[in-house]
Amino acid sequence: MNALRNKVQLIGRLGQDPEIINFEDGNKMAKFALATDDSYKDKKGLKVERAYWHNIVVKGGLVKVVENYVTKGQEIAIEGKLTNRSWEDKDGNKRYMTEIICNELLMLGK
């Protein structure tokens, strides 16, 4: 049952090309926003479509795949875990972000 704890699976499209961050020790990290779509019918029976944006972080060997093959608009499936982080911005305000640390990625479509 532990394999099911803090597990996220999403299928969506990239909102922009991935940002690749190079560290001094030679490691890399990729970051991008993934949009997932949802729809429902309102009280009048009209279809309402919504997009949800998710912040995705990729580390380790998958960064090379993202760097070489994943681009804006591409549909992908990811699996990972939710994380939260906080920091203070330049004005001293506390900021929060929820991210998904991706440990599996599958390119879909063309």
pLDDT digits (tens, 9 = 90+) for 79-97: 999 999 999 999 999 999 9
Model confidence at 4, pLDDT cuts 50, 70, 90, reads: confident
For 2-107, CATH number? Answer: 2.40.50.140
Q: Are 62 and 45 in contact (CB under 8 A)?
A: no
Q: What secondary structure, in 3-state letters, does 82-98 show? A: EEEEEEECCCCCEEEEE
